[in-house]
Amino acid sequence: MEIGIKSIIGVDVKGKTVLFRPDINSPIDSSGKIVNRNRLEKTVPTLKYLSDGGAKIAIIAHQGDTLDYQNLIPMREHAEILSELSGVKVDYIDDVAGDAAIAAIRNLKEGEAILLGNLRYLTEEVSTFEKDVKLTPQQMLNTYLVRRLGGEADIYVNDAFSAAHRNAPSMVAFEELMPSYAGPLFFKEYEALWRVMNCAEKPVVFVLGGAKISDAFGMMGKVLKDGVADKILAMGVTGVVMRLAEGKKIGKLYEKWLSDHDLTVFVDQAKELLRDYKDKFILPVDFAVEENGVRKEVNLDELPLDDKMFLDIGENSIAAFESAIAEAGTIFVNGPAGVYENPIFAEGTRRVWKAVAAAKGYSVIGGGDTVTAASKFVNVADIDYVCTAGGAMVRFLSGKTLPLIRAMSKAK
């Protein structure tokens, strides 16, 4: 597997100022506290390598976005957790690229690290700017972040494969200015997904759930057309939409919810997938609803239910999924089976995760909510690879060239 990107491992960083771009964007609770450390934990080896090598480390990273503004918070806790996990003292300054941030970078001594303020404080780093303005990496040299920090570092290191789909200055512009390298996490993420796409042991089973069905529909056609996936287990909202595409009425309340969230647009795409690859899908045959505060399961022939939202798969669906997972040579999972946060609707997700953790096949999971769900029901150490990526993972598996891959491949 050769991708033409240089690794930081083996590079002499002693005395060099390193601009280090990991992805430590983490799930938080209602009080703003971090509730899942997966990305922070996976950043530690690269941070320690740079510190042990005598680098002066300026860390740039983001938390939240315009699309999830409630998560756009200062990153002091991120620095504290990195310090705790790595043994490297990571200071924090709530300034991204102002005079205080630059002074802090210039005052770094060998082996020291500082996390600068949340990148998403900057307009040119938010996803809405990326979507509407569409700058090239060369044009990004004129952005505030790059103008301010571009002359302060000797080396740029990117370990943020999970943000590789972002065409943002912090991701793709510094490669135009200085020697640029990927960290070990970058290569692990790439290799795990490349293995699923190119040399996975058969049969390959994709288990796709959750409510963000654009992810599932973004990859299903590609992995089926290329023969990557032998079976797709459709659960969550994806499974419901696939049943709608067959012409099955599910009920006024659920259908209105799909319409209100602009998800009925995927029905026609689902029809095409079923027309061309019907034998590749295992779809839910029963669902769980809440009735008088308890779980009740209903079969397909009992639908439509006009006054119910079914937010989990039922026992027969779970059993079929467990069987397919047990027989798989490779398992890829993105998204939970249902609204697992509610105990009434947690059974499908719990059983699917236990099946994946117990499976003999090589297992890969990815996506923030996916990892959070897995952590709730199983020891994630029983999963062969836990990918930090969500959107980048989906686009990679959809066959799209990621902006970070392009930028790092042609780095200065």
Six token digits for residue 366: 């990815």
Q: Does 117 carry a binding-site annotation?
A: no
Q: Which helix (H) or strand (E) holds 365?
A: strand 362-366
Contact 397, 365 (CB under 8 A): no
Contact 185, 209 (CB under 8 A): no
Q: Does 65 carry a binding-site annotation?
A: yes
Q: Does 368 carry a binding-site annotation?
A: yes
Q: Does 4 carry a binding-site annotation?
A: no
Q: Does 370 carry a binding-site annotation?
A: yes
DSSP string, 297-349: EEEGGG---TT----EE-HHHHHHHHHHHHH-SEEEEES-SS-TTSGGG-HHH
Q: Does 64 carry a binding-site annotation?
A: yes
Q: Does 62 carry a binding-site annotation?
A: yes
E-assigned strand segments in 150-301: 155-158, 180-182, 204-208, 231-234, 281-282, 286-291, 294-299
The rounded distance, in Å, linking the Cα atoms of 324 and 286 is: 17
Q: Does 23 carry a binding-site annotation?
A: yes
The rounded distance, in Å, linking the Cα atoms of 114 and 59 is: 6
Q: Does 338 carry a binding-site annotation?
A: no
279: helix, coil or strand?
helix
Six token digits for residue 49: 């390598």
The rounded distance, in Å, linking the Cα atoms of 103 and 241 is: 54
- For β-strands 286-291 and 294-299, DSSP reports them as antiparallel
Nearest to 314 by CA among 338, 282, 281, 341: 338
Q: Does 341 carry a binding-site annotation?
A: yes
Known binding residues are 23-25, 39, 62-65, 120, 166, 341, 367-370
Known binding residues for ATP are 341, 367-370
Known binding residues for substrate are 23-25, 39, 62-65, 120, 166
